[in-house]
């Protein structure tokens, strides 16, 4: 990328990371526009990473009001702010994030993302959502895919000690580093809807159990609450029932999905585990930087972390290419 050079201020501030991803990537970053909707501890971690990295702009959406409760796992909300009433999460996040890097334009957009029309999405290169129901996730994903320009779409969820990232880069070309230079690579991503509609019987035996567990919870929540992450221990019998329905329908043995894992996810409810937020927010930040710079192998298309075994696993859940 030619054109403007980085300023002396940028060069000094970004010195260490330019040594990782190069000047071109830094220039691209400084022109990229990122939208996040649904703010929580994991998204806070992501926002911190991307603002520090020097993205062009970050737009925050979440009209929920700040409560003292929200400070439990959040470094973007200071003790004083949590006492002030009437301010939205997005506004409070915005104030804190601006301080992290004065060179990044951080702003707030009010409203519900799924009511915005397609033109709104054209302002962004990256859209990230968290805490939405499956239905809304699919809807926003398809709005991104309908636009002429390529808009990278991500979802991220933390359920206690487990976390999931979904990535849709649509049709994506990037530079892959080899020992003797770089080669151009191409990847086709399925939408969220297409990915999760692959019958479980067709997936490799080694697919992580967390993938199935997340779908069971999604299924349960979509008819129980219409929202993510609201479960409690009393829901366990219904969740186990959901497991049976899905496993029968999709052709997977129920024994493949242990009670212990589901119990753990249900008990976590809406609770985030801060170390897992840091890990998910870290990987999501890296993925977004890769997608913007077009450098480095991106995750295709699910990522899982489970603090119980410490593994961070990539799963490629895509329909067979035609």
Is 54 a binding residue for other proteins by CB under 8 A? The answer is yes
Is 298 a binding residue for other proteins by CB under 8 A? The answer is no
d(CA 304, CA 312) in angstroms, rounded, equals 6
Is 263 a binding residue for other proteins by CB under 8 A? The answer is no
Is 177 a binding residue for other proteins by CB under 8 A? The answer is yes
Rule CB under 8 A: choose which of 69, 148, 171, 179 binds other proteins.
179
In the bound complex, what is the minimum distance in angstroms from residue 289's beta carbon to other proteins? 7
Give the DSSP H/E element, type plus range, for residue 53: helix 41-53
Is 5 a binding residue for other proteins by CB under 8 A? The answer is yes
What string marks each residue from 273 to 292 as x (binds other proteins by CB under 8 A) or -?
xxxxxxx-xxx-xx--x---
3-state secondary structure of 139: helix
Q: Which stretch binds other proteins (CB under 8 A): 32-40, 234-242, 252-260, 307-315?
A: 307-315
Is 178 a binding residue for other proteins by CB under 8 A? The answer is yes
Closest to other proteins by CB, 77 or 192: 77
Is 309 a binding residue for other proteins by CB under 8 A? The answer is yes
DSSP designation for 160 = B
Is 69 a binding residue for other proteins by CB under 8 A? The answer is no
d(CA 174, CA 185) in angstroms, rounded, equals 5
Q: Terminus-to-terminus CA distance in the chain, angstroms?
A: 34
In the bound complex, what is the minimum distance in angstroms from residue 138's beta carbon to other proteins? 25
CA distances, 234 to each of 27, 226, 231 (Å): 51, 17, 8
How far, in whole angstroms, is CA 216 from its chain's centroid? 19
Q: Residue 130's closest CA among 86, 64, 31?
A: 64
Is 236 a binding residue for other proteins by CB under 8 A? The answer is no
In the bound complex, what is the minimum distance in angstroms from residue 299's beta carbon to other proteins? 8
Closest to other proteins by CB, 74 or 130: 74
d(CA 19, CA 16) in angstroms, rounded, equals 5
């Amino acid at each position: 990328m030619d054109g403007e050079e980085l300023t002396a201020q940028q060069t000094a501030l970004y010195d260490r990371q330019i040594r990782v991803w190069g000047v071109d990537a830094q220039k691209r970053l400084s022109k990229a526009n990122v939208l996040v909707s649904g703010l929580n501890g994991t998204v806070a971690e992501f926002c911190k990473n991307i603002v520090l990295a020097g993205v062009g702009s970050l737009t925050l959406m979440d009209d929920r009001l700040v409560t003292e409760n929200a400070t439990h796992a959040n470094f973007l909300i200071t003790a004083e702010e949590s006492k002030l009433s009437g301010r939205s999460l997005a506004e409070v996040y915005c104030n804190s994030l601006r301080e992290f890097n004065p060179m990044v334009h951080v702003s707030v957009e009010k409203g519900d993302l799924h009511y915005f029309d397609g033109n709104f999405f054209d302002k962004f290169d990256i859209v990230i959502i968290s805490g939405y129901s499956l239905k809304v996730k699919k809807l926003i994903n398809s709005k991104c895919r309908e636009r002429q320009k390529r808009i990278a779409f991500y979802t991220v969820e933390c359920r206690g000690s487990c976390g999931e990232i979904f990535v849709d880069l649509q049709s994506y070309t990037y530079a892959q580093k080899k020992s003797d230079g770089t080669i151009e690579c191409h990847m086709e991503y399925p939408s969220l809807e297409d990915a999760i509609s692959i019958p479980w019987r067709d997936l490799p035996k080694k697919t992580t159990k967390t993938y199935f567990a997340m779908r069971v919870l999604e299924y349960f929540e979509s008819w129980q609450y219409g929202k993510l992450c609201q479960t409690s221990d009393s829901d366990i019998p219904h969740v186990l029932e959901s497991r049976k329905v899905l496993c029968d329908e999709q052709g997977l043995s129920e024994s493949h999905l242990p009670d212990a894992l589901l119990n753990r996810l249900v008990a976590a409810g809406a609770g985030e585990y801060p170390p897992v937020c840091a890990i998910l927010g870290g990987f999501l930040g890296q993925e977004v930087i890769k997608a913007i710079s077009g450098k480095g192998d991106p995750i295709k298309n699910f990522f899982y972390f489970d603090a119980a075994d410490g593994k961070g696993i990539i799963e490629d859940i895509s329909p067979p290419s035609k």
